[in-house]
Structures are given as C-alpha cells and as structure tokens.
Amino acid sequence: MQDFLVDLNMPKQTILKQVLIWRAKHISHRQFVYILSIVIGFTSGVGAVILKNLTHFFQHLLEGNLIDYYHTAFYFVFPIIGLTLVYFIIKYVIRNKVSHGIPSTLFAISKRKGVMKQYQMFGSILTAPLTVGFGGSVGLEGPTVATGAAIGSNISRMFHMNQTTRNLLIGCAAAGAMSSIFKAPIAAIVFAIEVFSLDLTIASMLPLLLASLSAILTSYFFFGDDILLPFKIEDKFILADAPFYMILGVFAAITSIYFAQVYDKFHTFFDKINSPIKRLLIGGLLLGVLVYFIPPLYGEGFDVINNLIAGNPEKALENNVFQMDLTNIWTIVLLLAGLVFFKIIASALTFGAGGVGGIFAPTLFMGSIMGNCIAKIINNCGLFSNPVSESNFTLVGMAGLLAGVLHAPLTAIFLIAELTSGYELFIPLMLTATISFGITKYFSSHSVYNMELGRKGELITHDKDHAVLTLMEIEKVIEDNFVSITPKMTLGEMVHQAVVKSNRNIFPVVNEKTNALLGIILLDDLRPVMFDQSLYNDIIATDIMQPAPEIIDFDNDKMTEIMQKFQDSSAWNLPVVKNGVYIGFISKSKLLTAYRRQLINFTK
C-alpha cells in the first residue's frame, strides 16, 4: 500500500519518455536506427499508396466519366478547378507553403539540419492528388518522397536522433517511396544515394536496404503484382545498334538541357508575380488550353508511356483535336515531337499556378516519347537497312532523360533495368545515360532538383569538404569581442580606450554614426608609435588605418566562399559586415575548429 501511494505521488512519465528510457537501456543506437528505418520504409509505402489511390480516384471519376460521356471541353476546366482547390487548401487548411517535393527535402538537409515541419507530413497528400487527378501535368514521385521524408524527419526528432541520423532516415524515406512506387528496391537505394548525396557506408547501407525492403513489401501487400510500367524485353541488344544508342544519348542531353532551361525560365517568370491569384489564373488558364488541345498532357502520362512501349502510339494520340491522319508515320512522329516539346511547358505551368507535384514522371514521359520518336525516324528515314527496337528505345530514352535532367545516371540505369526484370539492356542503358549525363553536366552543373540551391551554394554534394562547409552556419563562428575605433580617435585615445581594454590584436575602424566598416588597425601598426607619448595627439586613426584584406558579407557569402577568402588573403581574422555595417570578425582558428567538429558529426 505504501509503495502504491509513493507511485501516485511520483511525476507521471509520458509513454514516449518511457520508450526512450527503455530503448537506452536495452537497444543500441545502431539497432534502433535499423528499427526506425523499417518503420519509415513502411510509412513511406503507405504514403505512396494513399497518394496513388487518391489520384487515380479523381482521374477515374473525372476523365473516365465526364469526358467520355459528355464533352472534351472538360479537359480545359478540370486543371483550373484542381488548382483552385489546391490554393484554398494551402491557404485555409494547411496555412503554410507546400514546396515541391524533392527540392524542399534537399533544402531541409542542406540548411535546416534535416528538420522538416509537421505539416509537410500531410501537405502533399492533401494537394498532390488534386493537382494531378484534375489534370496537372506533373508526377506523384516528388510529393511521395517529401511526405516520407517529413515523416522520417519528425520520427527521428521525436526519438532525439542527431543530425547525421536524421539525414540518413530522410534518405531511407526517399528510398522507401521510390521502392514502393516503382517496385524497384535497388534503384530506390541508388536514388537516395545519388540525389541526396548520402555517404555509401555499411552504416548507411543496411538502413537503406531495410527501408527499401519494408516499402516494397507494403506495396505488394496493397497493390499485388501491379507495376507502373509492365514490360518484358523481346528484342535483345546487338552490337550494331550501339551507334544508334549513342545518338539517342546526344538527343537525350539536348532534351535535358531544354527541359532545365524551360523549367527555370517559367519558374523565374512566376516568381516575379506577387499575387497567388494572378499566378493561378495565368498558369491555370494556359494549362487548360494546352490540355484541351493536347489531351495526352493530362496528369502523369503513364498510360501514354505504356502504349508506346506496347507499340500502340496511335492509341496514345487518338484524342488529338486536330483529327490528323494517324496512319501516316510522319504524322505520328510530328505529334510525338510535339508532346516532348509541350510536356515540360505544361509541367512548369502547373507549378507556376500553385500546383503540387514532381518532375520525375514528366521526365519519364518526355524520355519515353523522345526515344520512341528517334527510333521511328531511324526506321523510316530509308538510310539504314536494319530496324532498331522501338520499345527498347522507348525504355532507354527514359533512362537518358533521367540521367540528364536529374543528374542521376546510376538511378536511371538501375530503374529501367529493374522495371524490365532483367539486364539485357544494361549496355545501351549505360551508353545512353553516360553520354546524356556527361553532355548535360557540361552545360548545366546542377540538376533541376537542386538548381536553385546550387546557385546559392546551399547544396549538399558528395564532395565531403563542400558538404561540411555547407552545413556550417556563419553566425556560429562570428566573434564580436573586438574593440571598435572611430576614424578621428587620437593615438592616445586608441591606446587607453582600445589597446588597454582589448585582448585582441586587431581593431575595426567604424563610422561613429552608422557603424559602417571603414578599415582595420593591427596592433603591429600601433606598436612602433604607441610608446611615444609625444605623438599621442598628432596621430589619428585614419593615419594608420588600412583596408581589410578581405571582407565577409554576412548575407551573401557562403562558407565555401569564406574559406576561399581566408586562403587567398592569408589573413588570420576577417571582418564581417551586414548591409555594410560591421558586426564582428571570423577567425581562422575558430572556423577550422567548427569545421573539424562538423566533420566529426558528418562522418559518424
């Protein structure tokens, strides 16, 4: 009885706290990470199931009934309705901006220490199915990855995981999402490593494997054997086709560069429009016009891809409003080329209007059509005696564009290899993906996913030095215990008010009113005259002031640039300004200490 009363008087522990205490006593950190990776793989798989089923529900309800039984004019109306619904959900339900899937996840890893807000766990689930289901010309892969990543981030925060583990679990979520969507577990792991720049170590490999496996089992449980791109290779690779796959790689690179340029220009255009209503009207109306005249641009477009792989391009193009003759092969080639040209425009308009989705599906769509189109030209131009396999070119074209647009050649190769249930196409996949990636990388150093982060220098890459510097925060290495000097201070005032009171050997010279940095004075500059009291009233600060060897801009300089400034100037301390106003110094010693500490955390 006494023990019972004691228990009643003890503070009640939450279930989570009890779990954390039990875990600390009985399970090692590594074992717990394995458990969390399985859980996150499962949740990513469930997220993929929800997103896919909701989207297909809307598509079947709208496209399958209203358009078939009433009028194709609904193709114009649906995208605007869907985007409007998304706008109201974001404004009144979520009340936060829902960023595009994978770029927002990369930003969280690079600049938020792997922390993603709670609303990101359901934001894409509420908005992406409406965007795609009502005809938005984007994909579900990005939102699925973002949903899983947000769940992974918040689970890791709940269990007090460190930054390195959070980033790993976000990678596990990405692998789980891709594994569940495509039923390609190996490609999913490669995707997480390539796109999220995870270190390929034993410590990271097993959690990625567990997450990918957990997700694909979840997908099989809900969807059975259904896959997005059902295909079995019938035409095997022959050496004589190698030059044609090289040509395909070149065209894939050209298309990838076009994709990136159009996406970037539309992104910039819509960013200049401050009103979300204007963006919605401009983007929604233009998208509606495109989808009305070119119905294959409606939604993700996997039906079109499957028709091309199956050798039925006429079925994919039968809804064209121009009623063009589909028995003429050059008419088909022209229409297919038009789909390649307009798909990225439709996708960019969807994003610009406020839609939520990803670019993975548009990339597959454009790549498949480009590959099929090139094969048809080769087979019907009359220059070559032996025809190439149109289905194989369709598949390899997808890999070529994935390699170029996403800068992920290994993901492209393994994804298509796994989707085709074999490795007969491995050589052409490698040829096309390598050429496409190499050419695209030469003209564009960043993929569409990380274009904006890359321009700002905020992108985590496989370059470990660069990655560690990116993760460091400038405000944590600024020191402000320097005594400032004004331009008109005499030598005597500098000695008594600065040198005597400071334990540093450098003094910033600042404007008395604005605190703007004018220059610096070193203790070495003062030492030759500071003991001659006869000069105390004759020399003022501007007489011995010198310009700083380099100045660090708080708002614009990244850690990589700061490190380069130290290297170029050989200085030990450099001043930091914000909007021209002096705020402190960064010392090389503190910078290197912070770098070493971050490197240890990064490589744990």
> Per-residue pLDDT tens for 575-590?
999 888 998 998 887 8
Amino acid code (one letter) for 74: F
Compute the C-alpha angle 124/126/128, nearest 5°: 55
Q: Which long-range contacts (CB under 8 A, 24 or more apart) does 91-100 make?
A: 91/276, 93/126, 94/119, 94/122, 94/123, 94/126, 94/127, 95/119, 96/123, 98/123, 98/124, 98/127, 98/356, 99/146, 100/142, 100/146, 100/351, 100/356, 100/357, 100/358, 100/359
Residue 1 lies in a domain: no
pLDDT tens profile 340-385: 999 999 999 998 888 888 888 899 989 999 999 999 999 988 788 7
Same domain, 443 and 526: no
Q: How many domains, the chain?
A: 3
Structure tokens at 378: 């080769």
290 and 212 both lie in a single domain: no
Q: What is the 3-state secondary structure (H, E, C) of 182-199?
A: HCCHHHHHHHHHHHCCCC
Q: Do 278 and 383 belong together in one domain?
A: yes
363 and 390 share one domain: yes
User: Do 259 and 408 belong to one domain?
Assistant: yes
Q: Are residues 449 and 472 in the same domain?
A: no
Other Cβ atoms less than 10 A from the Cβ of 468: the count is 22
Is 191 domain-assigned?
yes
- Answer yes or no: is 159 within a domain: yes
C-beta of residue 169 within 8 angstroms of C-beta of residue 207: yes
Q: Looking at 164, 189, 223, which one is the last position of a domain?
A: 223
Whole-number Å distance between alpha carbons of 448 and 302: 21
Q: Are residues 395 and 493 in the same domain?
A: no
| pTM (predicted TM-score) | 0.74
Last residue of a domain, one of 223, 257, 281: 223
Query: What's the rounded Cα separation, in Å, for the pair 468 and 40?
Result: 26
The answer to whether position 5 is within a domain reads: no
E-strand stretches of 219-287: none
User: The domain that contains 498 carries what CATH number?
Assistant: 3.10.580.10
Closest CA to 129 of 267, 302, 299: 299
Residue 228 within a domain: no
The residues of the chain scoring below 50 in pLDDT are: 1-12, 70-71, 455-459, 461-463
Same domain, 386 and 361: yes
With respect to residue 232, please indicate whether it lies within any of the assigned structural domains.
Answer: no
Give the C-alpha distances (Å, rounded to integers) separating 7 from 2, 4, 12, 15, 156.
9, 5, 9, 16, 31
Question: So what's the pLDDT on residue 535?
Answer: 83
Would you say 319 and 163 are in contact if contact means Cβ atoms under 8 Å apart?
no
pLDDT, position 318: 65
Dist. CA 451–CA 397, nearest whole Å = 23
pLDDT of residue 4: 39
| 343 and 441 both lie in a single domain | yes
**For position 13, what pLDDT does the model report?**
52
For 564, the token pair is: 């380069």
Check residue 23 and give its pLDDT: 73
In angstroms, rounded to a whole number, what is the distance separating the alpha carbons of residues 146 and 20? Answer: 27
- Which of 188, 223, 258 is the last residue in one of the domains? 223
Within a domain: 10? no
One domain for residues 350 and 214? no
DSSP three-state, residue 126: helix
Domain containing 372 — which CATH number? 1.10.3080.10
283 lies in which domain range?
A: 239-463
> Which two three-digit tokens encode residue 68?
């078939």
Query: Are 94 and 127 members of one domain?
Result: yes
Q: Are residues 258 and 194 in the same domain?
A: no
Instruction: Flag whether 7 is in a domain.
Output: no
Q: Give pLDDT tens digits for 520-554.
A: 888 888 888 888 888 888 888 888 888 888 998 88
